[in-house]
A = this chain, B = another copy of it.
């Protein structure tokens, strides 16, 4: 009764085992605790440099890390459960590819950023960065949700993490751009990469599964769990790796107000674009988050609360319009079937965030930032760049990211077309039954004890 093409019995275990064994070997050879995680080194710091335990980076960043972690696993995982018959795949493949991606990201980002003397030193900051990179993969997952096998997803993660780390290295190290909340590195990259993968995997006959490519009442409720955790913890996401002190606080605050304003414009646009004024859960679940995406680059800068609100306000409008008018065009004209609408939540708001970041950087002055300028724009503070040059570099970074994502996504998409990967047929997309043992939808009536039945059965039993 099972189709051999989608039978994962050998493919998935083999892929998982091989990937995990490679990870363990790479970690064994390359990875070590950093100076704040290693007992010998940290105690030397304490004894010889007069540091105290409360200065350990763990206490500055662990609460933010845990919030980011919740966004990755519950936020993204449940946001994608809106499909009526793909809840298992959404939340559990999300777990699978994240668990792999965070390990591989530790290696790849470590290779570029944290390599010292042939060793990758890891700590709480690298854990946050690994989760960030994972977030990018999950955005791409959103574009191909329900149309891919777990093996395809693991391979997508393998390639995407690699390209993510290269792009991030070019932006942050080569170009000296700032992107603490990842409008460019995470959202723009993940969205356009995923859209190109979806383009490569275009299915002309996907309407054979169209009756399952929608929500039911309860699946929309589950999806709201994801939405709310993303919404609530986005201030932690954007501030997780900014400099200690005012920077973390300012970034969290800017994101908080950006999201609040975005929520109002999302509700307004959702109602305005419906012929009967009825709100659409798709917009609330997604567009209300665009304010977090759009504050990703400039959140740590002197965007001001009012500036953040303007950004969020625009992001909500753009995002709803995208869902309503642009997504159908993308599918018809560009043959991009974007299951979750990641172009509207992460793509366009990510580009908006990158532009806002470039502009805000270009107008930065020592007068406004004071000594804090060195935390936000070290190259401007040191006189290496002017503020305008920083703005230009931010803009170049956006272009590089778009190029890397578009080309990379297309190439990876074609790689994933290899038939051996076990993709579902056009008639069985958006269906958990293919890869999962699925129990019934509801308890059968006979399983539910009614008062009368219960009495009888207890009589028999006692």
Contacts and interface: CB of A to CB of B under 8 A. Distances in A.
Given A217-B441, A263-B95, A278-B436, A372 B43 contact: yes
A428 B457 CA distance: 8
A309 interface: yes
A173 interface: no
Interface string A280-306: 110010001000000000000010111
A40 B368 CA distance: 7
Which of A271, A428, A447 counts the most chain B CB atoms within 10 A?
A271
Given A56-B249, A253-B33, A267 B69 contact: no
Nearest to A101: B260
B8 A44 contact: no
A411 interface: no
A193 interface: no
Interface stretch (A17-25, A174-182, A194-202): A17-25
A46 interface: yes
Interface stretch (A158-166, A227-235, A347-355, A382-390): A227-235
Given A16-B267, A280-B437, 10 more contacts: A9-B277, A23-B261, A33-B250, A53-B244, A62-B249, A87-B217, A91-B228, A103-B261, A217-B441, A281-B437
Interface string A49-86: 00011111111101110110110011001100100110
A53 B60 contact: yes
Contact of A103 (B150, B232, B260): B260
Nearest to A10: B277
A203 to B, nearest CB: 11
Contacts of A70: 232
Contacts of A441: 216-218, 442-443, 448
Interface stretch (A120-128, A331-339, A396-404): A120-128
Contacts of A78: 225
A96 B460 CA distance: 31
Given A253-B122, A372-B39, A56 B245 contact: yes
Contacts of A442: 216-218, 441-442
A62 B229 CA distance: 16
A42 B40 CA distance: 31
A229 B74 contact: yes
B260 A100 contact: yes
Copies per complex of this chain: 3
Interface in A109-165: 122-124, 127, 150
A169 interface: no
Given A38-B246, A370-B43, A427-B460, A13 B216 contact: no
A446 B91 CA distance: 24
Interface string A443-462: 11011110110110110111
Contact of A309 (B24, B56, B87): B24
A286 to B, nearest CB: 12
Interface in A368-382: 368-373, 375-376
A447 B216 CA distance: 12
A88 B9 contact: no
Contacts of A324: none
Contacts of A31: 304-306
Given A81-B221, A427-B458, A460-B427, A267 B150 contact: yes
Contact of A39 (B8, B217, B236, B302): B302
Contact of A272 (B9, B92, B460): B9
Given A8-B277, A54-B54, A433-B454, A123 B443 contact: no
8 contacts: A39-B371, A46-B245, A53-B60, A73-B228, A122-B305, A211-B447, A220-B439, A425-B457
Contacts of A5: 458, 462
Nearest to A263: B99
A206 to B, nearest CB: 11
A372 B454 CA distance: 60
Contact of A265 (B17, B375, B427): B17
Nearest to A261: B20
A96 B244 CA distance: 32
Given A99-B260, A306-B28, A437-B278, A233 B36 contact: no
A62 B60 CA distance: 10
